[in-house]
Structure 1
Amino acid sequence: MNTIESESVAEQLLKLFSRLGFPNEILTDQGTQFTAQVMKEVSRLLSMKQITATPCNPKCNGLVERFNATLKAMLKKMCAERPRDWDRYIEPLLFAYREAPQGSTRFSPFDLLYGRTVMGPMQILRELWTDEINENETQHTYQYVIDLKGRLQETCKLAKSELEKSQTKYKHYYDKRAKPRTLSVSGEVLLLLPTDKNKLLMHRKGPFTVVRKLNDLD
């Protein structure tokens, strides 16, 4: 995709949905390409609920931000080793990421999507070294679909259980440095926002008046 205009983003999303299915809801940031009328119309036609993240709050979409950070580190390493043709290794890098187990769920993205361990370079190398060849028994199509559905359901249950354990552990670590703060309506606050010239640089702006309290944390 050469541009990030609303039309291009909508077309790429449709290509993705045509392979994986249409979601009930989609979470995006508040970029203009996602909040434009084109995306609203696409969401309406697909009966898809569009949810936007809180501005300047990457924790709202933490899984994507974590993936972006990991991918940037991988690309940085590849650019240092292959400065002339690093772009040719983007797809292999993505395959490596999708094949590796995720720290919170203990399953790889391939496992959660397809319900099986994908054949990757390490799996091929293992079979060459050990002469192990998994000969799957012949199954009827109907029985295969039933078994696959059962494996996916069981995998999702285990992933959800592991994710809850990880969330509890991460919350424990976060609470060690967290300080209780209470904001009241009509009070004044300072906001940590990107600078006008560089979004990577942050500084506090304000004071701004609190007009509404949504809950204890927002």
Structure 2
Amino acid sequence: MIQIQEPKSPWEIVHMDWVTALPPGGDRSYNACLVLVDRYSKTPMFLPCHKDDTAMDTAIMIWNKVISHTGLFQNIISDRDPKFTSALWTNLHNLFGTKLSFSTAYHPQTDGLAERMIQTLEDMIRRFCAYGLEFKDSDGFTHDWCTLIPALELAYKTSIHSSTGKTPAMLEKGWNPRLPYDTLKKDLVDIHPTASSFKIMLDKARHHANRCMQDSFKYAKERWDKSHKPPDFKIGDLVLVSTLNFNNIKGPKKLKDSFAGPFMIKALHGPNAVQLELTGELMNKHQTFTVVLIKKLQLK
């Protein structure tokens, strides 16, 4: 489990995660979205990509589309994705003097705030991309979620964040950007068909983004209030671990037990993660787990 030292400026520490199984979009049929979130300002970046992109593909994408705007990160926090556990990424971080931190096993978050933020953004993106979202302009070109998702990113950046009381844009840059929707002149009579089509697309994308964002905020609050309860684990407790993400336990997947163990808790890492003393087939697994994947052993 990592110990997070809070950043003092934007884009020092970045949370990174993938949203996969999206409908194919764009001229390259992207089916996933790389999500980066600045821990300081809560500013997100949504980058359409492919689920099977290599470590080099991801590195080049971040260099081309992110670093020129943010500069080099000091620390990237992500799950133990093979892209990041590869020798390439390890060498890149050593070369540039940056740090790569892994969150708890099979869980892309490291604390309550990050957990809620990442889950909300993922839900928001899935809502935005659902139902075959697309817009055909006056030239006959079809715009899908890949070209429309900046509307969702902009909507989030310019909305007040519950944990800071400010917009991510204000914390990141020191000002709130002018929005095209606020400056559009609605009383123009003589307007080019392509320009009119573009305005309609912006309006539709904005309304869709705002609706998805508000629905996600509401859903996240209801889910959090209902299920987020402080765990009462302590060192020495015997617990069972969910086998949901263990692919190499012997036997057909459908016949596996839902939980493995018992294992003893060796250490507590804040309120959301524990370190276990794994044995048997799981001895070489990453030992830190989010508390949502474990339960106490009930002794008869």
TM-score (normalised: structure 1): 0.62
Distance 1:176 1:76 in 2: 27
The residue that corresponds to 1:180 in the other structure is 232
The residue that corresponds to 2:197 in the other structure is none
Change (3 A) 1:36 1:17: same
Distance 2:73 2:228 in 1: 37
Show CA shifts across 1:189-213 (max 9, x none): 23363475xxxxxx83201422732
Equivalent of 1:31 in 60, 71, 81:
81
Distance 1:4 1:48 in 2: 22
The equivalences for 1:116-127 within 5 A come to 116-124=175-183
The residue that corresponds to 1:189 in the other structure is 240
Distance 1:81 1:101 in 2: 28
The question of whether the paired residues in 1 share the 8 Å contact of 2:243 and 2:260 is answered with no
User: How many Å apart are 1:82 and its aligned residue?
Assistant: 5.3
Q: Indicate the RMSD between aligned Cα atoms, in angstroms.
A: 3.6
Equivalent of 2:161 in 98, 102, 120:
102
Could you tell me which amino acid in structure 2 is paired with residue 6 of structure 1? Answer: A
Distance 2:108 2:239 in 1: 23
The residue that corresponds to 2:119 in the other structure is 65
The question of whether the paired residues in 1 share the 8 Å contact of 2:80 and 2:106 is answered with no
Aligned-residue sequence identity (percent) comes to 15
The equivalences for 1:31-180 within 5 A come to 31-60=81-110, 61-62=114-115, 63-76=117-130, 79=132, 85-87=143-145, 88-124=147-183, 177-180=229-232
Distance 2:165 2:186 in 1: 26
TM-score (normalised: structure 2): 0.47
Distance 1:215 1:102 in 2: 26
Larger strand share, 1 or 2: 2
Instruction: Structure 2 unaligned segments of length 5 or more: list them.
Output: 1-48, 137-141, 188-223, 248-256, 275-300
Change (3 A) 1:192 1:66: farther
* Bigger relative CO (Cα 8 Å, ≥ 6 apart): 2
Show CA shifts across 1:15-55 (max 9, x none): 32232111221111100001100000110111001101112
Residue 4 (str. 1) matches residue 43 (str. 2): no
Equivalent of 2:264 in 205, 210, 216:
210
The residue that corresponds to 2:62 in the other structure is 13
Show CA shifts across 1:94-132 (max 9, x none): 22222222222222222222211101034325x989xxx
Distance 1:112 1:91 in 2: 19
The residue that corresponds to 2:18 in the other structure is none
Distance 1:80 1:30 in 2: 31
Secondary structure of 2:162's match?
Answer: coil
Distance 2:265 2:230 in 1: 24
Larger helix share, 1 or 2: 1
